Amino acid sequence: MNEKLLNTFTDKFGEGGNIRLFFAPGRVNLIGEHTDYNGGHVFPCALTIGTYAAVRARQDRIVRFYSMNFEEKGIIDIDLDKPLEYSKELDWVNYPAGIIWAFKERNLICPNGFDIVYLGTIPNGSGLSSSASIEVLTGYVLKSLFGFEVSNTDLALIGQFSENRFNGVNCGIMDQFAIAMGKKEHAIFLDTSTLDFEYVPVRLDGIRVVIGNTNKKRGLGDSKYNERRSECEKALELLQGACSIKTLGELDEKTFDGLSSVIGDPVLIRRAKHAVYENRRTVRAVEALNANDIRLFGELMNQSHVSLRDDYEVTGNELDTLVAEAWKQPGVIGARMTGAGFGGCTVSLVEEDRVDAFIENVGAAYKEKIGYAADFYVVDIGNGPEEL
**All structural domains of the chain with their residue ranges:** 2-195
What pLDDT digit, counting tens, does each position of 300-309 carry?
999 999 999 9
Question: Mean pLDDT of all residues in the chain?
Answer: 93
Q: Which residue has the higher pLDDT, 17 or 349?
A: 349
Q: Which CATH class is domain 2-195?
A: alpha beta
Helix (H, G, I), strand (E, B) or coil at 313: coil
Active-site residue, from 175, 310, 311, 353: 175
CA distance 196 to 62: 38
Active site residue 175: yes
Average pLDDT of the residues in 106-125: 90
What pLDDT digit, counting tens, does each position of 121-177 carry?
887 666 666 889 999 999 999 999 999 999 999 999 999 999 999 998 877 788 899
Average pLDDT of the residues in 322-331: 97
List, as one string, the DSSP characters of 11-46: HHH-S-S--EEEEEEEEEESS--S-GGGT-EE-EEE
Which pLDDT does position 221 carry in this prediction? Answer: 45
Given a cut of 80, whether residue 3 has pLDDT beyond it is yes
What phi and psi, each to the nearest 5 degrees, are found at residue 155? -60, -40
Secondary-structure breakdown of the chain: helix, strand, coil percentages, each rounded to the nearest 5:
45, 20, 35
Which pLDDT does position 124 carry in this prediction? Answer: 64
What pLDDT digit, counting tens, does each position of 203-224 carry?
888 999 999 999 986 655 456 7
Q: Provide the residue count of the chain.
A: 388
For the entire predicted model, the pTM comes to 0.88
